[in-house]
Amino acid sequence: MIGHVLRLTRWEWFKLHRRRMPWILLIIGVAISQLIFWSTYAFVQSGGPANQSSISFDATDTAGETVEIEFTCADLRDMEGGEIPIDIDRFSQEEQQNIARGLQEFAERCESVNEDSNDIRQALLLPNSLTFAMASSLAFFGVILMMILAASTAGTEYGWGTLRTVLVKGVGRWQLLAVKTLVIGLASAGLSAAVLATVGVASVVATLTLEDGALVGAGEWSEFAIAFGKLIYVYLPYVALAVLMSVLTSSSGMGIAIGVGYYVIESIVVGILVNFDWFEGISNFVLGRVTSGWLELGDFSFGGGGVGEMPDPLPAAMVMLGYIVILGGLAFVLFQRKDVAGAKGG
């Protein structure tokens, strides 16, 4: 039995890796994660939030002239010996005190801005860069790509009519779907790992160009490993949804459209409903919310539906398990019972 399943798995992989689709998904995944990584890099190199946050006010000098004074957090950070880089003596004592008070308040604000700058900077360095890539790209785009992979792997057999050709060889239906699901899971993990590997390479390159080498090694590898495991678990209910829709409609196209459509529309609807009190109880059972709650890690907030208070990770994981069992179970029952027609072309 195990030998049979292993053999089917091997041959399912034989088919899958020769298709263009998983390679196209990999390219898209790499492109998105690299775009986000290098945009972050450019932002950090241009000064980050410290350059964006500024204070501006008018002060009147002793000659009665109005002077516009403007500072960014980066200016404050770069002040040498705490010396304000303006000719402060041109202002009256009273005005000097006003300026000092304004700058004091701004300096307090800048402390948290500088912390954010530091966090963003750390997101470029291993292994935080990998966790950040999961949060910023794979937790959203990755889910979509994996749904495409799942619906395509399960649904094209209907479109091409090859499901008939496989089943008449005596391959059991549940075994076939189980093997397909297993291969989709493995391919999802493989695709995610490959995307993260390219982020890792980018991270090393970026590290070499950053001024502050002390930040190399930001974060913990164990945190990254846990986050990766959590990410793969997040894929599972969505993979089950995409497979179910493909089996239900006997079409990969419909499986992708319904799966991805649900994912996107749900996050929009939840974003609106989260403002209503009555939604609070329901929100703990909405897929997008529970995956966000499950994935929330440290300084990074993962996934869609991240508005408002997230469900706790453990209850969220249980709800996700419920989705996996129900959606996956329905897919198996349908796959087992449905009559199989010829090619449908979709």
Q: Are 262 and 241 in contact (CB under 8 A)?
A: yes
The CA–CA distances, whole Å, from 280 to 234, 273, 274, 290 equal: 22, 9, 7, 12
Kindly indicate which of the ranges 86-94, 241-249, 284-292, 337-345 contains the residues binding other proteins, using the contact rule CB under 8 A.
337-345
Query: Closest approach of Cβ 183 to other proteins, in Å?
Result: 13
Q: Which of residues 171-210 bind other proteins (CB under 8 A)?
A: 171-172
Among 5, 67, 84, 340, binds other proteins (CB under 8 A): 340
Can you tell me the distance from the alpha carbon of 78 to that of 110, in angstroms, rounded to the nearest whole number?
A: 12
Q: Are 142 and 231 in contact (CB under 8 A)?
A: yes
Q: Residue 6, interface with other proteins (CB under 8 A)? A: no
What distance lies between CA 244 and its chain's CA centroid? 24
DSSP assignment of 94-158: HHHHHHHHHHHHHHHHHHHHHHHHHHHHHTTSTTHHHHHHIIIIIIIIIHHHHHHHHHHHHHHHH
Q: Kindly tell me which of 10 and 101 has the beta carbon lying closer to other proteins.
A: 10
The count of residues interacting with other proteins (CB under 8 A) is 27
Q: Kindly tell me which of 181 and 283 has the beta carbon lying closer to other proteins.
A: 181
Q: Kindly tell me which of 247 and 310 has the beta carbon lying closer to other proteins.
A: 247
Q: Which of residues 115-174 bind other proteins (CB under 8 A)?
A: 160-162, 164-172
219 Cβ contact partners less than 8 Å away, ≥ 6 residues apart: 122, 125, 126, 127, 128, 131
Query: Closest approach of Cβ 341 to other proteins, in Å?
Result: 8
Query: Closest approach of Cβ 25 to other proteins, in Å?
Result: 15
Query: Closest approach of Cβ 160 to other proteins, in Å?
Result: 6
Angle at 254 (CA atoms; ends 264, 8), nearest 5 degrees: 110
Q: Residue 20, interface with other proteins (CB under 8 A)? A: yes
Q: Residue 79, interface with other proteins (CB under 8 A)? A: no
Q: Are 8 and 171 in contact (CB under 8 A)?
A: yes
Kindly indicate which of the ranges 6-14, 39-47, 54-62, 114-122 contains the residues binding other proteins, using the contact rule CB under 8 A.
6-14
Q: Residue 18, interface with other proteins (CB under 8 A)? A: yes
- Site track 279-318 with other proteins (rule: CB under 8 A), x = hit: ----------------------------------------
Q: Kindly tell me which of 113 and 187 has the beta carbon lying closer to other proteins.
A: 187
Burial class (CB in 10 A: 0-12, 13-18, 19+), 212: exposed
Q: Kindly tell me which of 66 and 337 has the beta carbon lying closer to other proteins.
A: 337
250 Cβ contact partners less than 8 Å away, ≥ 6 residues apart: 155, 158, 338, 341, 344
Can you tell me the distance from the alpha carbon of 76 to that of 74, in angstroms, rounded to the nearest whole number?
A: 5
DSSP 8-state code for residue 308: S
Kindly indicate which of the ranges 24-32, 76-84, 129-137, 334-342 contains the residues binding other proteins, using the contact rule CB under 8 A.
334-342
Q: Residue 334, interface with other proteins (CB under 8 A)? A: no
Query: Closest approach of Cβ 112 to other proteins, in Å?
Result: 54
Can you tell me the distance from the alpha carbon of 141 to that of 34, in angstroms, rounded to the nearest whole number?
A: 13
Query: Closest approach of Cβ 336 to other proteins, in Å?
Result: 10
The CA–CA distances, whole Å, from 279 to 267, 273, 274, 283, 287 equal: 14, 6, 6, 6, 14
Binding residues vs other proteins (CB under 8 A): 4, 7-8, 10-11, 14-15, 18-20, 160-162, 164-172, 337, 339-340, 342-343
